Amino acid sequence: MTACFSHFDPLLGGQDAENMFRIAESFGSFGTYAEEATSEGLGETLPQRFDVGLNYTANGLDGQGNPDSEQMSASRTNYFRETYAYGAQLHVPEISSFMNNEQLQSAASHIGGSEYVVPAIVYANLLIPGQELAIHTDVPEFRGLNRMNTPQWFLVCMHHSGLFEPWRVPILTCVSWFGSADGGAFTFYPEGSAGPRKAISATHNTAVLLDTDSVFHGVERVVPTIHDLPAITGQTRLHHAGDDYWLLQEQDQTVAEYTWHDLRYSISWKGYCFADAKQHGLWFGGQDQLTVTDVLAQFESDLRSKGMANLSRLDATERAGALVEQYIRFPCGLKPES
């Protein structure tokens, strides 16, 4: 089944679009996605999205192979992220009008067939020349389990398994773009991982809204002619240096300089989409919630029915690998649709 999506061109009024740059500048400094905590909640210290990293290191963005070293692969995909709003907490007050954008809520209600749409999260991604975003699906949420209390790869396995749909909180995501960086198209598989790959240009003040928890997607390389880039670690930060300039710094040492024209800047909006008052009430009232123990027991039962190893006999890292291998099916490298 082909996933529904909406394309906005333009998304915002001219001045509101310009204000998106000022919000990033006022934030001042962006850390890398790798800074997010490791998955110690289940006893292992794997990166939150080790599933994506393994696939990208082996297959690259298009599934045709990856000529880069493991270190270069990590630098290409270790982009810069900061959260502007999460629930009622606005880290940047000026983002309020974007978070509560009626156009986005109306589109989400239409696509999701949702009676209730609750704006949930707004975050920004910055990619420097030479970076790209590996093919992945976003981190879903379930009643009782979300990225604040559960490893991200585990939540992704839950959704892809199809075993926990009655508890899933449906989320639609709007990815919007601001700026004029070369490359960096949004690439995705609206017909599923076995279907053709499509691409939407990351044109200034445009956006796409879809279920990124279910649809595999990524970002094509920013400035495609750039083959190498500085090493990006969990301690690397991107700092606004005034006017149009940004500095890439590693432990207070500047390793590269950029302008807004060089950077791919996107802002993602996520809204919880509830079909009716009953589903909204279950979530809002904290009812019928899952626990990790519940989920592991269901995974155990499902894998046993398929004649696979007993999860309880595996150590934490082996168990994580087994779940990812069983439930997450990345696209097989199909070429973009002409």
Q: What is the pLDDT along the chain (338 residues), one digit of tens a residue?
A: 567 999 999 999 999 999 999 999 999 999 998 766 556 667 667 888 999 999 999 999 988 889 999 899 999 999 999 999 998 899 999 999 999 999 999 999 999 999 999 999 999 999 999 999 999 999 999 999 998 899 999 999 999 999 999 999 999 999 999 999 999 999 999 999 999 999 999 999 999 999 999 999 999 999 999 888 999 998 999 999 999 999 999 988 999 999 999 999 999 999 999 999 999 999 999 999 999 999 999 999 999 898 876 787 888 888 899 999 999 999 976 554 53
Q: For position 134, what pLDDT does the model report? A: 96
Per-domain boundaries in the chain: 6-289
- Residue pair 310/304 in contact (Cβ under 8 Å)? The answer is yes
Nearest-angstrom CA–CA distance, 162 and 164: 6
Give the type of residue at 327.
Y
Q: How many CB atoms lie within 10 A of CB 113?
A: 11
C-alpha R_g of the chain: 20
Q: Is 236 exposed, middle or buried (0-12, 13-18, 19+ CB in 10 A)?
A: buried
- Residue pair 240/22 in contact (Cβ under 8 Å)? The answer is no
3-state secondary structure of 56: helix
Q: Is 83 exposed, middle or buried (0-12, 13-18, 19+ CB in 10 A)?
A: middle
Q: For position 103, what pLDDT does the model report? A: 96
Give the type of residue at 29.
S
Nearest-angstrom CA–CA distance, 337 and 330: 17
Domain 6-289 class in CATH: mainly beta
Q: For position 43, what pLDDT does the model report? A: 62
Query: Tokens representing 266?
Result: 């996107």
* Residue 170: cis peptide before it, omega within 30 degrees of 0: no
Q: For position 326, what pLDDT does the model report? A: 94
Q: For position 315, what pLDDT does the model report? A: 86
- Residue pair 97/12 in contact (Cβ under 8 Å)? The answer is no
Q: What is the dihedral of CA 282, 285, 291, 294, to 10 degrees?
A: -40
Q: For position 3, what pLDDT does the model report? A: 77
Q: For position 338, what pLDDT does the model report? A: 38
Transcribe 129-166 into DSSP letters: TT--EEEE----EETTB-TTTS-HHHHHHHHHHTTTGG
